[in-house]
Amino acid sequence: QVQLVQSGAEVKKPGSSVKVSCKASGGTFSSYAISWVRQAPGQGLEWMGGIIPIFGTANYAQKFQGRVTITTDESTSTAYMELSSLRSEDTAVYYCARDVESDILTGCLGYWGQGTLVTVSS
Amino acid sequence: QSALTQPASVSGSPGQSITISCTGTSSDVGSYNLVSWYQQHPGKAPKLMIYEVSKRPSGVSNRFSGSKSGNTASLTISGLQAEDEADYYCCSYAGSSTFDVVFGGGTKLTVL
């Protein structure tokens, strides 16, 4: 069974960066797109970007272009999301999620991590 | 890319059927059969209920079904049960040029 386990909660200062990890187990890591989705308190889901590890090139939502970097380490089956220039509005739970289809980013996310709360506060 | 439009809330009594709509544009819902639906209980991660418009993942009850017509997708839940009370989000692939994925704003389902 596929499992995605994320790193723990973070508290960050405005203007700093945060890097969240997502370790996959129980499936083929390289062929399935990993997306990052965030959810601000009391708000809806927001797609930030995604990557297919075997291809290595990440795609980002226009809103986060220039501020987010998504990478993977195939040797450890881990995906990373780094968000820079943090502001209070970035306070949210950040989820990683795996696509249902291999070799393509569809946005149909069949497996989710447990979420990582990132709090941005001075 | 703008969010997909969902009703803020829907309600129904146990045993009834409800339908949640998800309206997009010809650039997302209307162009791709890559619409998915997620159920989210408070404090939990979202759970995939429907993918590629009408496919059900293994383990999801057949009370949940999906469809699409033009730029609008729909999720129907039949035989409502108390445990169906949750937030529901639709999602669509939105283009190979931008590789965008867009979510709806979410619908709160209340089982009366």
Task: Identify from B101, B102, B103 which residue to disrupt to test chain A contact, counting A C-beta atoms within 10 A and taking the largest count.
Answer: B101
Q: How far is B98 from chain A (nearest CA, A)?
A: 8
What's the confidence (pLDDT) of residue B1? Answer: 55
Give per-residue pLDDT as tens, B30-75.
999 999 999 999 999 999 999 999 999 999 999 999 999 999 999 9
What's the confidence (pLDDT) of residue A95? Answer: 98
CB < 8 Å to B92, chain A: 107
With 80 as the cut, is the pLDDT of residue A76 above it?
A: yes
Residue with tokens 């930030």: A48
Q: What share of chain B is helix, strand, coil (3-state, %, to 5)?
A: 5, 45, 50
With 80 as the cut, is the pLDDT of residue B99 above it?
A: no
What's the confidence (pLDDT) of residue B96? Answer: 63
Where is pLDDT greater, at B100 or B62?
B62
What's the confidence (pLDDT) of residue B19? Answer: 98
DSSP E strand boundaries for chain A: 3-6, 10-12, 18-25, 32-39, 45-51, 58-60, 68-73, 78-83, 92-102, 109-112, 116-120
What is the pairing mode between strands B107-111 and B9-12?
A: parallel
CB < 8 Å to A115, chain B: 45
**Nearby residues of A65 by Cβ (< 8 Å), 6 or more positions away:** none
Q: Among B3, B40, B51, whose Cβ lies nearest the Cβ of A100?
A: B51
Give per-residue pLDDT as tens, B4-39.
999 999 999 999 999 999 999 998 999 999 999 999
How many CA atoms are closer than 13 Å to the CA of B68, on its beta-carbon side? 26
Please list the alpha-helical segments (H only) found in A1-116.
none
